Amino acid sequence: MEFQEEQRISVMWMRILFLIIIIGSLAGVLLGGMNSGHEPQISDYLGAVFCVAIVSLVYYMVFYTKLKTSVSMMGFAYEYFPFVWREKTITKEMIKSWQMQTMKSGFQYGGYGIKQSYFPKKTAFMMGSRNAVEFKLHDGKTLIFTTNNPEQLQLALRKYFSQTEIR
């Protein structure tokens, strides 16, 4: 492997927002059950448990799933479980062009996580960094991956894919 990287979404305001939602959900259901005029039943708390379970699952999927990328002579490989189940490789033959870019904001492609558009066919893996590599493939698709190590990634890509770089 010439280059390897693991990234997670690590945006503090999103974490705070999730905690507010969890606390608000618990408080609303628990206080609503206590103020209903009857002795609280187990069914009064099931809504809170269900809500916290769903928000916790989403929290885990947002903040603990990893985007794994690597560059080798085989190509550019990526995996983002559970959204991309198995490692996929973009081979040298698939790449029409590639370029490093600095994005204006984290919302340039619609926020964080995996973002897809169908017209044009574009998939962006946004983990919070403003540095990214953009691959344009021969089949018309565009894939964008953020990186925390743009210099190292660019060196590795130039080693194997220098003829398709846009400068």
Q: What is the mean pLDDT of the chain?
A: 85
Q: Residue 159: pLDDT above 90?
A: yes
Tokens of 141: 């698709």
Q: What percent of the chain has pLDDT over 70?
A: 88
The predicted-structure confidence for 34-58, as pLDDT tens digits, reads as follows 555 667 677 767 777 787 788 888 8
Domain boundary assignment for the chain: 10-63, 91-164
Q: Which residue has the higher pLDDT, 147 or 118?
A: 147
Instruction: Compute the distance between CA of residue 85 and CA of residue 105 in angstroms, rounded to an integer.
Output: 28
126 phi/psi in degrees, rounded to 5: -105, 110
Read off the pLDDT band of 143 (50, 70, 90).
very high
Output the pTM of the full model: 0.81
